[in-house]
Amino acid sequence: MKIQLLVMIILLTVNINLAQPYQKHDKNPRERMEQLEKLKLLEALNLNEEEAIRFFARRNEFRDEHKDIIQKRDEIILNIELAIGKDKPENEAHYEKKIKEFLMVEEKLIDHRAKFLNSLEDILTQEQIAKLIVFELKFKQEIRDLIIKRRGRK
């Protein structure tokens, strides 16, 4: 009960802070968004303190590894883009090789995510894992919608 009360107080504080106009002395917006995501995730999954520590440690490890894979994918995309933009066109074999590399990295991203979700079975119930999947999708969509809405106002 104490944890839920603490989470509610923090959520209210974060919501009040988010409603305030952006000020230069504020924390990094990405950092604030990550804190908000963690708080909402704690609430959605209803984790106790020990579960939360184990979950976020594993999630942080997953995210670090995932960022590395995404960076590799982005490098491949950049190489493809540079090859396309050249005056001298690359041969079909070069494109085929780059496309295969890209697809292998995409497959690795999917496998890595599946491995992460499966690894949570010792911390979370199946219902909590399902809630995590739905939460992440909805949270990303909410952030996109807020960014689009905010850009539309300017």
pLDDT at 152: 81
**Please, are residues 83 and 94 in contact by the beta-carbon 8 Å criterion?**
yes
Q: What is the pTM assigned to this prediction?
A: 0.71
Cα 43 to chain centroid, rounded: 17
pLDDT one-digit tens code per residue, 104-144:
999 999 999 999 999 999 999 999 999 999 999 999 999 88
Q: What ranges do the domains of the chain cover?
A: 49-112
Q: What is the DSSP string of 108-153?
A: HHHHHHHHHHHHGGGTS-HHHHHHHHHHHHHHHHHHHHHHHHHHHH
